[in-house]
């Protein structure tokens, strides 16, 4: 009746496509893309506490760029300037927690804290992101990673980090935190996505 072995119903289905199958296929592709982006390029994080106030506030939700973790030390990463830099707000692992701080010194830098002021390679930092009157005092000697007024060199593959709310931040000034090894770094914060009224790009500081 239809002639030969041709099945018109199969032909029409193949020619016009199955809408349900097409929709499922699109959803699967979107999920694969999002999962790939999540695991390779982006890490979500939540601010816990006041150590980065007022740059970041408690319970805010952030996205961090993981690319420097994969490419930062490669020739390609260096060509596209995709490595951790002074002034970047970063996420790193400490005692099975993810903490958010700012990079003050990178490998080879000479860091000094004196009278509550921060010096890197002999120059005092102008930290415009700090609230007025905030000082960067060291903890007592038994808990301190630095000696008041003396330069300390940031070790190879390590970083010196501090929170923007210095009186309320436990960071590289403390001996039990110390210099952060590169393999503990998780990414550079680039976006605040919650609360919605503060949604936007977050840029690192520029130091002279």
Q: What is the DSSP string of 36-94?
A: HHHHHTEEEEE--SSTTTTTS-TT-EEEEE-HHHHHTTSHHHHHTT-S--TT-EEEEEE
pLDDT score, position 13: 42
pLDDT score, position 105: 98
pLDDT category of residue 33 using cuts at 50, 70 and 90: low
First to last CA, the chain: 84
| CATH number for the segment(s) 43-201 | 2.10.109.10
The three-point CA angle 152-95-46 to 5° equals: 100
Q: Cβ(101)–Cβ(95) under 8 Å?
A: no
Residues sharing a CB contact under 8 Å with residue 101, sequence separation 6 or more, in sequence order = 51, 52, 89, 90, 92, 161, 162, 163, 169, 171, 172
Q: Cβ(194)–Cβ(45) under 8 Å?
A: no
Q: Residues 51, 158, 169, 172: which is the catalytic one?
A: 51
Q: What is the mean pLDDT of the chain?
A: 88
- CA dist., res. 174 & res. 145, Å (int): 5
Is residue 1 scored above 60 in pLDDT?
A: no
pTM, rounded to two decimals: 0.82
Residue 158: active-site member: no
Return the C-alpha torsion angle 125, 134, 52, 120, nearest 10.
20
Q: Residues 66, 101, 112, 186: which is the catalytic one?
A: 101
Token readout for 51 is 């150590």
Is residue 16 scored above 60 in pLDDT?
A: no
Task: Report the candidate in 137, 135, 166, 133 with the shortest Cα–Cα distance to residue 53.
Answer: 166
- Give the dihedral sign, CA 183/189/190/196: positive
Token readout for 143 is 């808990």
pLDDT score, position 76: 84
pLDDT category of residue 79 using cuts at 50, 70 and 90: confident
pLDDT score, position 81: 85
pLDDT score, position 134: 96
pLDDT score, position 2: 42
Task: Report the candidate in 182, 193, 185 with the shortest Cα–Cα distance to residue 44.
Answer: 193
Q: Where are the chain's structural domains?
A: 1-40, 43-201
Return the C-alpha torsion angle 45, 50, 53, 56, nearest 10.
10
How much is the average pLDDT of 175-202?
A: 96
- Give the dihedral sign, CA 55/59/63/69: positive
Residue 110: active-site member: no
């Amino acid at each position: 009746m239809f002639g030969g072995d041709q099945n018109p119903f199969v032909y029409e289905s193949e020619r016009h496509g199955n809408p349900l199958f097409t929709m499922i296929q699109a959803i699967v592709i979107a999920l694969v893309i999002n999962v790939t982006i999540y695991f390779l390029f982006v890490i979500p994080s939540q601010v816990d506490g006041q150590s980065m106030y007022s740059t970041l506030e408690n319970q805010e939700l952030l996205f961090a760029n993981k690319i420097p973790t994969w490419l930062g030390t490669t020739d390609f990463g260096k060509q596209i300037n995709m490595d951790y830099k002074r002034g970047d707000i970063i996420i790193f692992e400490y005692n099975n927690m993810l903490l958010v701080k700012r990079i003050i010194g990178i490998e080879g830098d000479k860091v000094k804290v004196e009278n509550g002021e921060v010096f890197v390679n002999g120059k005092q930092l102008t930290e415009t992101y700090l609230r007025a009157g905030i000082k960067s005092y060291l903890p007592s000697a038994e808990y301190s990673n630095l000696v008041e007024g003396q330069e300390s060199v940031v070790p190879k593959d390590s970083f010196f980090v501090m929170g923007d709310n210095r009186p309320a931040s436990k960071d590289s000034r403390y001996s039990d935190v110390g210099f952060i090894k590169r393999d503990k770094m998780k990414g550079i914060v680039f976006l605040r996505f919650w609360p919605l009224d503060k949604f936007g790009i977050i840029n690192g500081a520029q130091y002279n």
